[in-house]
Amino acid sequence: MSKIQSFYFKCAIGFIFFFTYFPASAQTGKSLSFDGLGSYVSLPLPLNGSYTKEAWLYPLELNFGYPQIFTGTNTALFFYGNQLSAGHLSGGFLEVRDPIPTPVLNWVHVAVSFDAATGSMKLYKNGLLVSSASGVLPETETMQELSRFQGTNFFKGQMDEVRFWNTARTASEILADMNCELTGDEPGLVAYYNFNQGIANGNNSAETILLGRTHACDAYTGSLHDFSLSGNESNWVGNSPNFSNTCTGNFPNIVVKWVSVCINNGENMPSTSNGTDFGDYTSPGIFRSYLITNTGSTNLMINQITITGTNATDFTIVSNPANLNLSPGQSSSFTVKFISTGPGERMAQINITTNLNYVFNFSVQGKGEDITPVRYEYFTGEIKNKTAYLYWKTSFEQDNTGFTLLRSNDGGASWQEVAWIASKSAANGATYQYQDQKLKKGSNLYRLKQKDNSGNTKYSNWIHLFLKGETNHVTIYPNPVLDKAVFEFDAALDQTEAILSTVSGKELMHIHLKTKKQTIYLGSLLPGIYFIKFANGETYKMLKD
């Protein structure tokens, strides 16, 4: 071997050694590859009202079935074979469908928008409208998934830039942002996943969550299921749409916290854990301070904070934010006082109006002081030998004449008097009981109407006793309803749908039944008569005050 040949041979060996032991810098994953066999992502992402769903897709196979893209229990964006489709449960999931098949082995942008106010649904492919429908009924979701529906219908291919908005985006808005990465502050953006995670085609066994990229309290982090997380399939991969720039624009953003706990926009189930449940009223009042932070990239202007709802007068803003013009990263607080003006649960809604294109709102509640002449320790009952045994105990009585025991067999729509029980006139309280031998098979609701010496009356809480032997499977109470109602039903109706409609038959709401005792919030309904139809054919009349 000549000296020249020896030199080139040593160089070749050197290159082999270098690239074997010192590989090139690993590339960050840009998209997620789904194997079409069982891999999917679950998102704790609720849906209610208007929305837009978007994604970039690189399908590897679209020959048959219904490969899912972005789907919940009641809403779906998917492929009908190789045709892009979308819809709601009430319409059989096929309100809109692209007549032109979607090719494989190419990146394609897909989007569906729904306007809850008009019932309009529109389907887009690569920014162009391909199908539309009207009269679509709204649905609600508690979570959604990527690449799966009801445990099957998996998508095979790669996915990137998944976005979820709480508005029905226009064609120009979709087209303007589809070819760039978002900042995470865009108005109306609820959840955003850019899939820039892991090492492309590498060992990603630790990358088991899909990071949300919005600058909000809850970024709705997803969970990966049944991914191999190694190699070039069922893993984070380097393939992505051909863009790398960030969308232009600076936006404000809002995060609201109690102490250090986030309160989500639209939160409608008050809790002591995030300071939205003020608890039992104590004089002179209960105070809660909430911190507003601008997590965006330009100034957040706080215009006003108002309180609305059934018991709005029980809640007062005692101090507004000291700074109404928050620069990026700045915070300012406001304080709310709860003053009881009546007994029982008191509910309202706090609304924060800013220079964003939506109002940030959340519900609050507190328990009002019991100002009746009687304070109850309990009111309960049981059925023995087809007889209802009712028991109640008071801890305080003043000017109490006695109690009328009432029973309802139609979910609280009407009541009949069962018995009059005179007061024992015990200032420190007393125990009472009554046996009702005339209860009916099925649902029996009981409550007490307490009467004082002046003739004023107050009602106790409800209790529900069920005597087997009747086909009635559902109880709804209270009826009439103010803000919320309780549905109780047996196992036969579990995981079914109930339909709420007007007296004219117009369907307003589809309610997914998922627990045997479920609270339904109906504060948005206007006063009037409504009907609720269940999957077993039973229909109930409900009065809304």
Digit-coded pLDDT (tens) for 2-54 = 544 444 444 444 434 333 333 444 688 899 999 999 999 999 999 999 999 99
Q: Is the pLDDT of residue 255 over 70?
A: yes
Phi and psi based region of residue 191 (left: phi greater than 0; alpha: psi -120 to 50; beta: remaining): beta
pLDDT band at 506 (very low <50, low <70, confident <90, very high): confident
Residue among 472, 480, 327 at smallest CA distance from 409: 472
Q: Per residue in 238-259, is it b (16+ CB within 10 Å) or e — as a string? A: bbbbeeeeeeeeebbbbbbbbe
> Using CA atoms, how far apart are residues 346 and 344, in angstroms rounded to an integer?
6
Peptide bond into 373 cis (omega under 30): no
> Using CA atoms, how far apart are residues 400 and 505, in angstroms rounded to an integer?
46
Per-residue pLDDT of 134-168, as tens digits, reads 999 999 999 999 999 999 999 999 999 999 999 99
Residue type (1 letter), 51: Y
Q: Diameter of the chain by CA atoms?
A: 121
Residue among 234, 203, 181, 224 at smallest CA distance from 60: 234
> Using CA atoms, how far apart are residues 267 and 521, in angstroms rounded to an integer?
12
| Domain 254-368, classified CATH 3.20.20.60, yes or no | no
Per-residue pLDDT of 188-225, as tens digits, reads 999 999 999 999 999 999 999 999 999 888 899 999 99
Per-residue pLDDT of 53-81, as tens digits, reads 999 999 999 978 999 999 999 999 999 99
Class at the top of the CATH hierarchy for domain 473-545:
mainly beta
- Which alpha helices (DSSP H) does 190-324 contain, by range? none
Residue 235 burial (10 A CB sphere; 0-12, 13-18, 19+):
buried
Q: Domain locations in the chain?
A: 31-237, 254-368, 372-470, 473-545
> Using CA atoms, how far apart are residues 409 and 441, in angstroms rounded to an integer?
9
CA dihedral (292, 293, 298, 299) positive or negative? positive
- Neighbour count for residue 97 (Cβ, 10 Å): 17
Q: Enumerate the β-bridge partners of residue 344.
A: 368
Same fold, 372-470 and 473-545: yes
pLDDT at site 472: 53
Place of tokens 């479920």: 518
Counting Cα atoms < 13 Å in the Cβ hemisphere of 106 gives 9
Which CATH architecture is the domain 372-470 placed in?
Sandwich (2.60)
R_g (Cα) of the chain, nearest Å = 30
| Domain 31-237, classified CATH 2.60.120.200, yes or no | yes
Peptide bond into 478 cis (omega under 30): yes
- Cα 56 to chain center, whole Å? 25
